Amino acid sequence: MKVTIREVAAKAGVSPATVSRVVGNYGYVSQKTRRKVLAAVKELGYRPDSIARSLVTRATHTIGLVVTDITNPFFANLVRGVEEVTWQHGYTLILANTDEDMQREKAVIQTLQEKRVDAFIVVPASSQGSPHLQEVVSQGIPLVLVDRGVHNLAVDTVMVDNEEGAYKAVSHLIRLGHSRIGIVLDNLKITTNEERLAGYRRALLENSLTAEESLIQSCRFTQHSAYELVSNMLAGHERPTALFTANNFMTIGAIQAIREAGLSIPQDIALVGFDDLEWNLVNVPYLTAVAQPVFEMGNIAAQRVIAQLKGEENSVMEIRLKTKFIVRQSCGVPSQTNSGRRSNPKLDQEI
């Protein structure tokens, strides 16, 4: 049978309230009494009731982590970055997916509030109005956004410099001689895509190139949607000579469409992606990509929410991490030979 707090109290010769203060780590208890209680807890194998404890302390030591798709390696890496910090501080994550759906995000946030999580770290499904997130803030619950921002929501946000990353990628394609450069995005209602599109347009404008609307295409956040979209782009009368894909799912769909169209990368069409994952060094040709410090982004988001929980931080911050532009074979680097010999990944050029 489960050992009760009264049994621990009797064993230690103290009151149940004293045992509660020791195991809950709140209130004053002398070191001598604390040692007696902990010895009784160990001997009897007592496990505190976390629900009862949370009613007293008003803390569950849980953090709600809301992402859009945990099957995406990007978000899996982000979650690991968050967990490394939260676990060290004694917090457990409750993970939820939204599938890029605002209604599902709203339902998930409400459910986690009912579970009395102490704080939230959220990858928002939209950059537009989010009254459910504003409600979290108004209730005084710590909230940190990661990877994406929400307009007119004054909370800590941890992102990368998306516009600059896209600008570097498209500028590189222009330097290689491309003028018909397509961009493949998913949801235009999230800040990452808004900013990456802005970087694309800035690179074209600075090189006196027109941003043709037919070359700016968006679809659902799935590999298959990207595959269908790129297939249609390649079937057009004037197909692009280069593609910039705004995230890893768009890149995978684009590669499938290019290959099924009987085209070669980079001989027939150059390809640069946003997100640098391990499979980029397995796929041939190796993918030129904008690399994000994903794990670090999760780390920093967790640090910010822990600081809020401890009452150490009141100022709102937008933290922008730098990306790295890594040139490999898929955009037609000079080191590539006609024989198809693979380049050494260690010789990747970072710009």
- Per-residue pLDDT 10s for the chain (351 aa) are 678 888 888 989 999 889 888 887 777 889 999 999 999 888 888 887 655 555 454 568 999 999 999 989 999 999 999 999 999 998 999 999 999 999 999 999 999 999 899 999 999 999 987 899 999 999 999 999 999 999 999 999 999 999 999 999 999 999 999 999 999 999 898 999 999 999 999 999 999 998 898 999 999 888 999 999 999 999 988 899 999 999 999 999 999 999 999 999 999 999 999 998 776 566 678 899 999 999 999 999 999 999 999 988 778 999 999 999 999 999 975 433 333 334 444 446 777
Q: What is the pLDDT of residue 52?
A: 52
Among residues 321, 349, 319, 316, which one has the least CA distance to residue 335? 349
Q: What is the pLDDT of residue 339?
A: 36
Q: State the chain's maximal CA–CA distance in angstroms.
A: 87
Q: Give me Rg for the CA atoms of the chain.
A: 26
Strand ranges in 189-333 using DSSP code E only, listed in sequence order: 216-218, 242-245, 270-274, 288-291, 318-321, 324-327
Strand ranges in the chain using DSSP code E only, listed in sequence order: 62-67, 92-97, 119-122, 143-146, 156-160, 181-185, 216-218, 242-245, 270-274, 288-291, 318-321, 324-327, 349-350
Enumerate the β-bridge partners of residue 122. Answer: 66, 145
The single-letter code of the amino acid at 304 is R
Q: What is the pLDDT of residue 16?
A: 86
57 vs 290: CA distance, rounded Å = 45
* Cα-Cα end-to-end distance for the chain: 64
Any idea what the Cα angle at residue 31 is, between residues 26 and 37, rounded to 5°? 75
Among residues 328, 244, 324, 319, which one has the least CA distance to residue 292? 324
Q: What are phi and psi of 188, to 5 degrees?
A: -80, 0
Q: What is the pLDDT of residue 280?
A: 57
Please tell me what DSSP assigns to residue 287: P
